[in-house]
Amino acid sequence: MRIYDIISRKRDGFELTDEEIHFFIDGYVKDEIKDYHASALLMAIYLNGMSDREMVSLTLEMAKSGDMLDLSAIDGVTADKHSTGGVGDKTTLIVTPIVASLGIKVAKMSGRGLGHTGGTVDKLESVEGFNVALSPEEFISTVQKTGICVVGQTGNLAPADKKLYALRDATATVGCMPLIASSIMSKKLAAGSQCIVLDVKYGSGAFMKTKSDAEELSAKMVEIGKMAGRKMAAVISDMDTPLGKNIGNTLEIAEAVDTLRGKGSADLREVSLTLAGNLVALAKNIDYSQARSLCEKVLDDGSAYKKFLEFISAQGGNTEMITDTGKLPEAGIIHRVTAKESGYISNTDAEKIGSASVVLGAGRVNKEDSIDYTAGIILYKKTGDKIKAGDVIAEFHTNDEKGIAPAEKIFFDALTVSDEAPEKEELIYKVIR
Ligand code: URA
């Protein structure tokens, strides 16, 4: 078999066989297939698509390209959640303790932020002492003891995805449905949990810009997971507007803690409860409304907050920063942003708000960039709110004075102010089970 022939078959619109897909992934991980060949094949896939059979075959090959975690030593049902990425999306910090306080074991690998989107690993590392770099043995024993463990992606989990994702990023082949589905699901399958809930975002701040693309991606990922023997659900939710009001690492920890203490924003609480309810329904084999009531109960009676403190402590985090979020480190400069005109905010472009927070220091442009955990934005007004010229509508937190003017320009580009109140967008579009 030759990679040249595989590329030309895909270029000419033929379906690849399982053997050809195995040959490609195996050879690429072993560095026997070069980046220029892999790039050409990715572009042929981007242009010609893949059948469902090819996509499942690619996912399984990528999942098997490194370690497949064996979670069988953990007592009880194991659960994982994954978001396709957004702005202000701190739901993992709320969903995982809700689910764990109902006796389900959450074994989760998370990513770092990249571009305009944030990542759970960065948020957790903004709590002094929190360790995301545990060995597979420590990971399993922490899940067993505490009911939750969240770590960064280990070096050898789905290495094919790691290499291919970097190549896709450099060759304009990220936005391709079968490649996104196989990338996400290969990591989820390798991470080993029995029940998986996917939070698939659509809108300006998401990879999928439309509801129909988000729906198609969700259906593909749910199908792949089911074929691999996992219990699956996908929640399709809005990411036209940032979720909650805080964007940035320590700021998002503080907002998640507020939500766990019953004081969070309504949209953040709703998305978190929908995700948790679906995960609990899968894990306990009960219907969603029953699962959702259980989740509301442990959120409202403080059990989930208590579980969150146990989780932070088990991974070395300083819980004083959680019991008193005023002890989280704070940026040196807090700049108040005032409205230039009066009216209703009819759009708060999530991608642009995410980009403004990156300019303030909260995110990275390149993978190796360092970030300022204290930087970010607090939104006092969002889509649907009425504002008056001169009102304080947001706060910028930064340690870099030079970032304020460019961030403010991006911020105002993100806002549309109209005379009429906008129609309310639904927060949860659909759940695919
Ligand atoms: N997230 C991933 O892990 N992979 C993709 O291809 C897109 C989003």
Q: What CATH number is associated with residue 266?
A: 3.40.1030.10
Strand ranges (E), 313-389: 333-338, 343-348, 376-379, 386-387
Which residue, among 414, 428, 430, has the nearest Cα to 205 in the 3D structure? 414
Asked if the model's pLDDT at residue 119 lies above 90, the reply is: no
pLDDT on residue 117:
78
Confidence of residue 174 (pLDDT cuts 50, 70, 90): confident
Average pLDDT, the chain: 95
Confidence of residue 367 (pLDDT cuts 50, 70, 90): low
Per-residue pLDDT band for 165 (boundaries 50, 70, 90) equals confident
Tens digit of each residue's pLDDT (9 = 90 or more) over 204-220: 888 899 999 999 999 99
For the record, the structure tokens of 114 come out as 């990249």
154 pLDDT tier (thresholds 50, 70, 90): confident
Of 45-54, 114-123, 168-177, 182-191, the poorest mean pLDDT is in 114-123
In angstroms, what is the span from residue 28 Cα to ligand 1's centroid?
19
Which neighbouring-strand residues pair with 432?
234
| 314 pLDDT higher than 90 | yes
Examine the residue annotation and report whether 284 is marked as an active-site residue of this protein.
Answer: no
Taking alpha carbons only, the member of 377, 394, 395 closest to residue 385 is 394
The per-residue DSSP string of 28-67 comes to HHTT-S-HHHHHHHHHHHHHH---HHHHHHHHHHHHTTSB
User: Is there a catalytic annotation at residue 168?
Assistant: yes
Query: In this prediction, what percent of the chain has a pLDDT beyond 70?
Result: 99
With 70 as the cut, is the pLDDT of residue 155 above it? no
Using the predicted structure, report yes or no on whether residue 344 has a pLDDT greater than 80.
yes
Residue 183 alpha carbon, nearest atom of ligand 1? 4
Give me the pLDDT at residue 118, please: 78
Q: What is the DSSP letter of 277?
A: H
The larger pLDDT score, comparing residue 172 to residue 78, is at: 78
C-alpha 345 – ligand 1 centre gap (Å): 31
Q: Which residue has the tokens 């040249």?
A: 4
For residue 207, how far is its CA from the centre of ligand 1 (angstroms)?
9
Nearest to 91 by CA among 278, 281, 351, 229: 278
How many residues comprise the chain?
Answer: 433
Q: Single out the residue in 323, 346, 365 at which a domain terminates.
A: 323
Task: Kindly list the protein residues whose Cβ atom lies closer than 6 A to any atom of ligand 1.
Answer: 84-85, 165, 174, 179-180, 183-184, 207
Q: Whose CA is nearest to atom 2 of ligand 1?
A: 184
Across residues 297-310, what is the average pLDDT? Answer: 98
Q: Which of 37, 90, 168, 269 is catalytic?
A: 168
Tell me, yes or no, whether 261 lies in a domain. Answer: yes
Find the catalytic residue in 10, 82, 116, 201: 82
Confirm whether 161 is a catalytic residue.
yes
CA distances for 103 relative to 62, 78, 257, 399, angstroms: 31, 10, 21, 41
Neighbours of 35 (CB within 10 A): 15
Ligand 1 atom at shortest distance from the alpha carbon of 179: 6
Separation CA 247–CA 378 (nearest Å): 6
For residue 363, pLDDT beyond 90: no
- In terms of C-beta density within 10 A (0-12 exposed, 13-18 middle, 19 or more buried), how is residue 420 classed? exposed
| 315 φ, ψ (degrees, to nearest 5) | -105, 20
Whether residues 133 and 220 fall in one domain: yes
Which residues on neighbouring strands pair with residue 114, listed in sequence order?
117
Its domain, for residue 16, covers 3-49
230 is catalytic: no
Which mutation among 59, 183, 188, 220 tests ligand 1's pocket best, with the greatest number of atoms within 8 A of CB?
183
Please identify, by atom number, the ligand 1 atom nearest to the C-alpha of residue 165.
6
Is 353 part of any domain? yes
Task: Identify the pLDDT of residue 113.
Answer: 77
Instruction: Give burial (CB, 10 Å; 0-12/13-18/19+) of 67.
Output: middle
Domain assignment present for residue 429? The answer is no
pTM above 0.85, yes or no: yes
Q: Which atom belonging to ligand 1 lies closest to the Cα atom of 174?
A: 6
116 is catalytic: no
- Ligand 1, atom 5, residue with closest C-alpha: 180
Please give the distance, rounded to the nearest whole angstrom, from the Cα atom of residue 157 to the centre of ligand 1: 14
Q: How far is the CA of 7 from the centre of ligand 1 (A)?
A: 23
* Mutate which of 59, 180, 220 for ligand 1 pocket (most atoms within 8 A of beta carbon): 180
Q: Domain for residue 363, yes or no?
A: yes
Minimal-distance CA residue to ligand 1 atom 7: 180
Residue 223 belongs to some domain of the structure? yes
Find out whether 233 and 275 touch, Cβ atoms under 8 Å. no
Q: Do 39 and 169 lie in a common domain?
A: no
| 85 & 208 share domain | yes
CA 182, CA 158: separation in Å to the nearest integer? Answer: 11
Q: Which atom of ligand 1 is nearest to the CA of 111?
A: 3
Distance 183 CA to ligand 1 centre (A): 6
Of 212, 201, 204, 332, the C-alpha closest to 275 is 201
Query: Within 13 Å, how many C-alpha atoms sit on residue 302's CB side?
Result: 1
Question: What distances in angstroms separate CA 221 from CA 11, 41, 255, one per listed residue?
Answer: 25, 22, 30
Q: Tell how far the Cα of 84 is from the centroid of ligand 1, in angstroms.
A: 7
Range of weakest confidence among 98-107, 167-176, 189-198: 167-176
Same domain? For 124 and 202 the reply is: yes
Regarding whether 242 and 142 lie in a shared domain, the answer is yes
Please tell me the distance from the alpha carbon of residue 148 to that of residue 100, in angstroms, as a whole number: 6
pLDDT tens figures, 14-38: 999 999 999 999 999 999 999 999 9
Q: Domain ends where: 323, 346, 375?
A: 323
For the chain, the domain total comes to 3
Q: Pseudo-torsion of CA 80, 84, 89, 91, nearest 10°?
A: -20
Residue 88 CA to residue 262 CA, distance in Å, equals 18
